[in-house]
A and B are shown apart, each in its own frame.
Chain A
Amino acid sequence: MSSTRPTERLAVRKTYKLYVGGAFPRSESGRSYVVHDAKGQFLANAALASRKDARDAVVAARKAFGGWSARTAYNRGQILYRVAEVMEGRRAQFVDEVAAGEGLRRAEAEAAVDESIDRWVWYAGWADKVGQVLGSTNPVAGPYFDFSMPEPTGVVAVLAPQQSSLLGLVSVLAPVITTGNTCVVLASADRPLPAVTLTEVLATSDLPGGVVNLLTGKVPEVAPWLAAHSDVNALDLTGTEDRELATELERAAADNLKRLVRVTDHTQDWTAAPGIDRMTAFLETKTVWHPMGI
């Protein structure tokens, strides 16, 4: 009898891995951890990143920096828009993961995903405008052509918000890479699944490997290595909920004078208009002088 009835299909469970240098490795430590939904039910296993994973991710980000920062702003904008396009196609999956991880109702999760997609579109438009808004020609008192332009800072380590697993993540990630930086992102520890899915989108959106490297794991374990790493130029502490740890990380970051975005109120409203502060935080200003004459 049983052979005539179609059996219920056994689901293929996914392994959630890291994203480093455009590839999806497991943690070199071989470790993983259990991710639960908002009600405490098992969702999946995710890779538990180690110090070595963080170092590998920094190497990948540094390697990608030259190429990514040298792309035309137009091209970076095109790629960011492509991220939005590819995300749109996987909207349902994001909604499921956000709803499960954050315990949101379907409509709320949909709103968060839609806003995340739209945020990529917003930043895509910024790529070739930020130079005009922040750059200048400077009317110096002498026969010189003098202009200032923003340039990316380099490799940025980002501690993504813990609560808002997708919209919060996109809100801190997109401004960093829009302007030509590359980054190592530590996803929300308890809600990492939308972040891993986002890396699958990034990997198929013409974003060069290494521009975004995403680790899943524990902030107190991984963040100190990023904060103390001499080849990291900037640190976004947004996802540190422990103030004492944030202070320690800030202190470690002083060793090579990393640019900082300090820890912010973690209940902040990610749906609010982002403004350009998160872009300017990771930009340097270069001023060039040249004599004028005949």
Chain B
Amino acid sequence: MSAGKFEYAPAPESRSVVDLRSSYGLFVGGEFVPTVDGRMFKTVSPATEEVLAEVTEAGVEDVDRAVRAARTAYDSVWGPMSGRDRGKFLFRIARLIQERARELAVLESLDNGKPIRESRDVDIPQVAAHFFYYAGWADKLEHAGFGADPRPVGVAGQIIPWNFPLLMLAWKIAPALACGNTVVLKPAETTPLTALQFAEICQQADLPPGVVNIVTGAGATGQAIVEHDGVDKVAFTGSTEVGKAIARSVAGTPKKVTLELGGKAANVVFDDAPLDQAVEGIVNGIFFNQGHVCCAGSRLLVQENVYDEVLDRLKRRMATLRVGDPLDKNTDVGAINSAEQLRRIATLSEVGEAEGAERWSAPCELPDRGFWFAPTIFTGVTQAHRIAREEIFGPVLSILTFRTPAEAVEKANNTPYGLSAGVWTEKGSRILWMADRLRAGVVWANTFNKFDPTSPFGGYKESGHGREGGRHGLAAYLKGAAA
């Protein structure tokens, strides 16, 4: 722990590029409209608790209006439109996102609390890339392997979480539109601003009114979307608990469903692993985006004979993490997204201690205002501990050990989740052996938390239904195709 932080001067990104309105309506039928039966609520910066803007909590009638706008657009414009023209609209949107990348990155960091380094270098480039990727599919659907005449599903109701607000929007909207569907999308109540900014981009692109509708709100608004008879497909990313409720709710209906849910990923480090890279991978796996990642590597499985060395190196590396102002370009770990989420992380961490695991947090000063949690690891964790079983969704890592590859597989798979896993070893044959046995939708070998529009992503078991990304991601938005 001798290697302390270098002292860097603050390097804040300017907020002047963002033109925030004090109040936002709903984006329905191509226009911002006031609510019919909803209320207003405030969205704050988690780093400072400053109120950023007032947004609308859409009620049942608002949702109904949005679904009807989507249906009209589907029937009259977007459904009948040629794939080539749909593709061109998506290419336009992709370009506009690139052009307004700085503005979107700053707004994302302001509203979400994530470091500007990540919103600027990871989120927004990936958002643009997703629109570019799916734009190219719009006029090639008959070659995608879902039959000679693939048809869109209709109106898609989409509900996304607060951890990657704009990226999740892109994952949902880009393939839906490419396939000829229209959408009603609800961003999370704590991070609605970039979706509303995206609505402006749709206007700027001259996207036909009603093709994309954005309704802001919380759980009740989401429920109104899921239960609406005019919705043909539900796409949800969020907690497993809500995912199960949605699956129950659509039972007996013809609605198509895809669910991208929780995880408790094992990150397995063998004794022959390149340890420097592995430690970087462990840090990236759990502390990227404050650990607000469904596929975060929250269970570290270290081979027993390198446990001490890995732990030493990990602590040393964690001591250099810069926690603080999300808009500072030097910041590695930003703010926890909400007071409620901070409470959840704190509670589960206390349970970890109470159950006998040993807690260690990186020595760092946390700002006075806002929601903060120091990067934390737990050692002496067993599989029975709640911190090893439940998704914490924060910068908290549980460390377990194993002796043999078979034991690593056994422990890694010992969870109802199956979203992702990591393997670190120099031995290629072992990587493939492990990848074969890990019951998870994504396996990162000697790397972690990599995403790409061309790469299918999604979970086994209780981590959800269907895949997003790649050719596979089209299935969710085409009639008859098993997602």
- Let me know if B252 and A257 touch, CB within 8 A: no
- Let me know if A251 and B441 touch, CB within 8 A: no
Assuming the A-B contacts A138-B455, A140-B450, A259-B465, are A251 and B243 also in contact, with contact meaning beta carbons closer than 8 angstroms in the complex?
Answer: no
- Let me know if B129 and A141 touch, CB within 8 A: yes
- Let me know if A281 and B247 touch, CB within 8 A: no
Residues in B455-483 with C-beta less than 8 Å from chain A: 455-458, 460-462, 464-465, 467, 470-472, 475, 480-482
- Report the separation of the CA atoms of residues A139 and B481 in the bound assembly, to the nearest whole angstrom: 23
- Report the separation of the CA atoms of residues A121 and B447 in the bound assembly, to the nearest whole angstrom: 42
- Let me know if A250 and B441 touch, CB within 8 A: no
* Interface presence of A277 (CB below 8 A): yes
Q: Which of the segments A3-11, A32-40, A190-198, A283-291 contacts the partner chain? A: A283-291
* Interface presence of B261 (CB below 8 A): yes
Total number of B residues with any Cβ neighbor in A under 8 Å: 44
Assuming the A-B contacts A133-B145, A148-B470, A254-B244, are A287 and B457 also in contact, with contact meaning beta carbons closer than 8 angstroms in the complex?
Answer: yes
- Report the separation of the CA atoms of residues A148 and B445 in the bound assembly, to the nearest whole angstrom: 14
- Let me know if A277 and B480 touch, CB within 8 A: yes
B418's nearest neighbour on chain A, judged by CB, is A284
- Let me know if B443 and A257 touch, CB within 8 A: no
List of B residues within 8 angstroms of A146 by Cβ? 452, 454-455
- Report the separation of the CA atoms of residues A243 and B251 in the bound assembly, to the nearest whole angstrom: 11
Interface centre among A253, A280, A290 (most CB of B within 10 A): A290
* Interface presence of B431 (CB below 8 A): yes
List of A residues within 8 angstroms of B259 by Cβ? 257
- Let me know if A247 and B444 touch, CB within 8 A: no
Q: Give chain A's interface residue range (CB within 8 Å of chain B).
A: 35 or more
- Residue of B254, B261, B443 touching A288 (CB-CB under 8 A): B443
* Interface presence of B273 (CB below 8 A): no
- Let me know if A251 and B248 touch, CB within 8 A: yes
- Let me know if A284 and B248 touch, CB within 8 A: no
- Let me know if B461 and A257 touch, CB within 8 A: yes
B451's nearest neighbour on chain A, judged by CB, is A140
- Report the separation of the CA atoms of residues A142 and B461 in the bound assembly, to the nearest whole angstrom: 29
Report the minimal beta-carbon distance from B409 to chain A, rounded to whole angstroms. 11
Assuming the A-B contacts A142-B452, A285-B441, are A254 and B251 also in contact, with contact meaning beta carbons closer than 8 angstroms in the complex?
Answer: yes
- Report the separation of the CA atoms of residues A253 and B243 in the bound assembly, to the nearest whole angstrom: 12
* Interface presence of A136 (CB below 8 A): yes
Query: Which 3 A/B pairs are nearest by Cβ-Cβ distance?
Result: A247-B252, A254-B247, A250-B251
For the A-B complex with A286-B440, A288-B444 known, give 13 more contacts whose Cβ atoms are closer than 8 Å. Answer: A138-B455, A138-B470, A139-B454, A140-B452, A141-B452, A142-B450, A254-B247, A254-B248, A257-B243, A284-B441, A285-B458, A286-B442, A287-B456
| 5 residue pairs from A and B, CB less than 8 Å apart | A140-B455, A141-B454, A233-B461, A253-B251, A289-B442
